[in-house]
Amino acid sequence: MADTVKLPEDSFKPMTPADRAALDSEKIAAPSLTFAQDAWRRLKKNKGAWVSLIVLAIVFIMAFGSIFVSPHNPNAVNPSYANLPSKIPGIGINGFNGTLVQAGQRVDAYKQAGASAGTYYIMGTDYLGRDLFSRVLYGTRISLIIALVATFFDLTIGVTYGMFSGWKGGRIDTFMQRIIEIILSIPNLVVIVLLILILKPGMTSIIIAIALTSWTNMARLVRAQTMELKSQEYILAARTLGERPLKIAFKHLLPNLSSVIIINTMFTIPNAIFFEAMLSYIGIGISSPQASLGTLLNDGQKNFQFLPYQMWWPALVLSIVMLAFNLLGDGLRDAFDPRTKE
């Protein structure tokens, strides 16, 4: 028979308050977080995404706030103040003090135009004397409205189509995916040209063109996730209990698809903005006197050799908006992915 191990008597002594305090200090306690709270915490730790969110908030406030408060009328023509450079009060740096180089000498363009002492334009004026700052705000608002409305159709059509296709499966799913492949085979530019033949160039034709073609990517992503989720135990349990498919979609599928939908939306918006800018730049998008980032780029490139600032400002705003949306999309993808290592 094996020898028994005799434990020391002090091993059975009750814990003292000092021992309990030392044990409590070693406990690692963290507050319980929901999925949304944890994603928000991850997003705030991503400095690039957080700065992009702040930049986009400022752009939205300035663009849509210009409806009520604007330095000048964006469509007001003043030929006597045509092609004035940027002038910001209190800044004497060349390029922002209202001076231009003419015949090898720097001259005050505002004095030559006979402008009063209190007259200034933050981004200068175009060839018709219109305030570029007001037109950039107006054009940014138009581009954002087109992108947001097109994204709304992308969400409603793409999410619904993808969930229905993935939920049904079988022949219905195969038939619906063939429809998507047919739509993907038609270039967006062909669709917009055909719509221009029916409708006049403008916001309506661009929104319809983007809405008809941009939802396919969202539908395919949602369909793939739905096919994966519908075989999960909680979905099978809900179906066994007799839950209706519509209730399962809103109660179980949509919350679990939210991360995919939000991330894809963040990439859809800049794509729509760039598509609108491209169409307006080549002359089949927004028409004058309305302004968008594309039309401002088109107007600015005509005088780029002599007055480059007319193209720099809308190009800078377009680049900032595109970069901010893409960085925010990357940050949201990392925030919603639980496998991301901090």
**Domains in the chain: boundaries:** 45-83+120-334
Within the chain, residue ranges assigned H as helices are 17-26, 35-45, 47-65, 109-112, 132-168, 170-184, 188-198, 203-213, 215-229, 233-240, 245-248, 254-281, 293-302, 309-336
Flag whether pLDDT at 78 surpasses 70. Answer: yes
DSSP helix/strand/coil, 298: helix
* pLDDT for the residue 175: 93
Task: Note every long-range contact of 147-153, with CB atoms under 8 Å and residues 24 or more positions apart, other chains counting.
Answer: 147/269, 147/270, 147/272, 147/273, 147/276, 148/269, 149/207, 149/211, 150/206, 150/207, 150/210, 150/211, 150/214, 150/268, 150/272, 151/265, 151/268, 151/269, 151/272, 153/207, 153/210, 153/211, 153/214, 153/215
| C-alpha span between 329 and 265 (Å, rounded) | 8
DSSP helix/strand/coil, 131: strand
Segment 197-220, tens digit of pLDDT: 787 777 888 888 888 888 888 899
* pLDDT for the residue 27: 54
Confidence band of 2 (pLDDT split at 50, 70, 90): low
* pLDDT for the residue 3: 58
In this prediction, residues 280-308 reach a mean pLDDT of 82
| C-alpha span between 153 and 158 (Å, rounded) | 8
Flag whether pLDDT at 92 surpasses 90. Answer: no
**Residue from 150, 185, 133, 182 nearest 274 by CA:** 150
CB count within 10 Å of CB 76 equals: 12
Structure-token pair, residue 167? 């939920």
In this prediction, residues 73-101 reach a mean pLDDT of 83
In a 13 Å sphere around the CA of 298, the CA atoms on its Cβ side amount to 21
Q: What angle do CA 47, 53, 59 make, to 5 degrees?
A: 135
Confidence band of 341 (pLDDT split at 50, 70, 90): very low
In CATH terms, is domain 45-83+120-334 a member of 1.10.3720.10?
Answer: yes
* pLDDT for the residue 25: 57
Query: Which range among 69-73, 161-165, 301-305, 329-333 has the greatest average pLDDT?
Result: 161-165
* pLDDT for the residue 298: 86
| C-alpha span between 299 and 309 (Å, rounded) | 11
Amino acid residing at 192 = I
Q: What angle do CA 172, 173, 178 make, to 5 degrees?
A: 100
- CB 124, CB 110: distance < 8 Å: no
